[in-house]
C-alpha cells in the first residue's frame, strides 16, 4: 500500500489552498494534532481569522478515531486540510514547508494521558520526544526559520507542593512518563533555541475541557459513564482528601495559545525562549465536576470513592497565570459551571442518537 500521505482530500481541499492566508502578511501556521481536541479548536480559530493553516495528525487509536475524524471533517468544512501522517515523517514536514512557507509551527500533537504511559511507554517516546525533535531538526534548517510553539503540560510540576504552580518553580520531579516527556520538550526547545536561535514558546495547559473534548479526561469520561449508568470512580488521596484540578475551558486556552502565537518574537539569535502556564486560577474538586454534570445531563451519577492508584496523577493542580497575563494579556473568564454547561450542550447534541459503537466500547484507564 502507498503509505505516503495524500495532499488533497476526497472533497477536493488541497494542502496548498489550506495554508494560503486570507490576505498577505497574515500568518501561515502548521498546527500538529488537528485531529485532537486543542489542535482542532486552535486551527479553526486561526483559519477563521484569516491565517493560513495546515493541519497534521496521525489519527492514532489511543481513543476512538471516529471523534478525531469528526474534528478533522469539521475543520475541512472551514478550509483546513489535515495531512494524515506522523511527526517523524521528516520528508512530509519538509514538503509541507516548501508548499506553505510556515511562519509559525504550533506543535499540539502528542501521545496524551498520564495513566496510559504504564501500558504503552514507547508511544510517548515516539511522539513526544522523537516527534518533537524531528520538528526542531527540520525547521532549524529553514531560512527564515519559523517560530516554534508547543504544548507542554501542568503535569511537569509533578510532586511539587508549593501552590499555585509558577513558571519559576523547579520542575525536576515528574510523577509520570507523560510528564517526563513534556519536561523533555521544554529542555529540547531550550537546546535548539540556544544553538540555532529558534524562537520557542512552551505552553503548560491545565486540565482543558469543553466541546469536542478528550474522552479519556474527567468531564467527557464521567458524562459517558453517567449516560451509560456506570459507576463514576472518584479518586481520593491520603486521609480522604480529594483530587483537585484547575479545570480550564477550551475557549480560554485557545485565547492564550493565539496570544502566544501573536507575541512570539522572531527566530534568529538571540531568540526568545519562553514557557507559560495557561490555566484558570480556580481549582475545584472532582465531586463538584460530577455535581455539575448531573445537573446539566439531568441524570444522577453512581459514585464510588476509591484510593488514588499509583499511576502518576498528582493531588492538586493550580496555575499562577500572572506571567501569561502580563506578557500575553491572558485572562481566562469561563467558570467551571458555565464551561460544563457548554460542554453538556455540545455532548447532548453530538450524541443525540446515543453514543456510537466506538464510544460505547471505549474504556479509558
Active-site residues: which are they? 178
Residue 300 cell numbers, joined: 444522577
Helices 250-263/37-48 angle, 10° precision: 60
Bridge-based pairing of strands 244-245 and 284-285 is antiparallel
Other residues' Cβ atoms within 10 Å of the Cβ of residue 198: 26
Q: Which helix (H) or strand (E) holds 332?
A: none
Residue 196: Cβ within 10 Å count: 17
Q: At what angle do helices 336-350 and 286-297 cross, to 10 degrees?
A: 50
Within 10 Å of residue 321's Cβ, how many Cβ atoms? 27
**φ and ψ at 248, to 5 degrees?**
-125, 125
Q: DSSP string covering 195-238, please?
A: HH---EEEEEE--EE-TT--TTSHHHHHHHHHHHTPEEEEEE-G
Residue (of 288, 291, 196, 182) closest to 245 by Cα position: 288
Cβ-based neighbour number of residue 165 at 10 Å = 25
- Please report which helix (H) or strand (E) contains residue 26, including its range: none
The closest of 149, 173, 178 to 324, measured between CA atoms, is: 149
Residue for cell digits 474534528?
Answer: 71
Burial of 272 (0-12, 13-18, 19+ CB in 10 A): middle
What distance separates the 2 farthest-apart alpha carbons in the chain? 59
Amino acid at each position: 500500500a502507498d503509505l505516503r500521505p495524500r495532499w488533497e482530500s476526497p472533497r477536493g481541499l488541497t494542502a496548498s489552498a489550506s495554508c494560503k492566508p486570507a490576505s498577505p502578511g497574515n500568518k501561515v501556521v502548521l498546527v500538529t494534532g488537528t485531529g485532537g481536541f486543542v489542535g482542532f479548536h486552535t486551527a479553526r480559530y486561526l483559519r477563521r481569522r484569516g491565517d493560513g493553516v495546515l493541519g497534521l495528525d496521525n489519527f492514532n487509536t489511543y481513543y476512538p478515531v471516529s471523534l478525531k475524524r469528526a474534528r478533522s471533517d469539521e475543520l475541512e468544512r472551514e478550509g483546513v486540510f489535515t495531512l494524515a501522517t506522523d511527526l517523524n515523517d521528516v520528508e512530509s514536514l519538509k514538503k509541507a514547508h516548501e508548499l506553505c512557507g510556515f511562519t509559525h509551527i504550533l506543535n499540539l500533537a502528542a501521545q496524551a494521558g498520564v495513566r496510559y504511559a504504564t501500558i504503552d511507554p514507547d508511544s510517548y517516546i515516539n511522539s513526544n520526544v522523537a516527534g518533537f525533535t524531528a520538528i526542531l531538526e527540520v525547521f532549524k534548517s529553514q531560512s527564515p526559520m519559523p517560530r516554534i510553539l508547543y504544548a507542554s503540560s501542568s503535569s511537569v510540576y509533578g510532586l511539587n507542593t508549593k501552590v499555585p504552580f509558577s513558571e519559576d518553580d523547579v520542575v525536576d520531579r515528574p510523577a509520570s512518563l507523560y510528564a517526563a516527556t513534556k519536561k523533555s520538550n521544554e529542555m529540547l526547545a531550550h537546546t535548539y533555541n540556544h544553538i540555532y536561535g529558534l524562537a520557542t514558546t512552551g505552553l503548560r495547559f491545565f486540565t482543558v475541557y469543553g466541546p469536542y473534548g478528550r474522552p479519556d479526561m474527567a468531564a467527557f469520561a464521567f458524562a459517558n459513564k453517567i449516560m451509560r449508568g456506570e459507576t463514576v470512580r472518584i479518586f481520593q488521596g491520603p486521609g480522604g482528601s480529594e483530587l483537585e484540578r484547575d479545570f480550564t475551558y477550551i475557549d480560554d486556552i485557545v485565547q492564550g495559545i493565539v496570544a502566544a502565537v501573536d507575541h512570539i518574537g522572531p527566530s534568529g539569535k538571540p531568540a526568545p525562549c519562553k514557557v507559560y502556564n495557561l490555566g484558570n486560577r480556580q481549582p475545584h474538586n472532582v465531586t463538584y465536576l460530577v455535581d455539575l454534570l448531573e445537573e446539566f445531563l439531568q441524570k444522577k451519577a453512581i459514585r464510588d470513592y476509591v484510593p488514588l492508584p499509583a499511576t502518576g496523577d498528582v493531588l492538586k493542580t493550580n496555575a499562577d497565570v500572572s506571567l501569561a497575563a502580563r506578557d500575553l494579556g491572558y485572562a481566562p473568564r469561563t467558570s467551571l459551571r458555565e464551561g460544563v454547561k457548554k460542554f453538556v450542550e455540545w455532548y447532548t447534541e453530538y450524541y443525540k442518537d446515543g453514543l456510537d459503537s466506538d464510544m460505547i466500547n471505549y474504556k479509558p484507564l
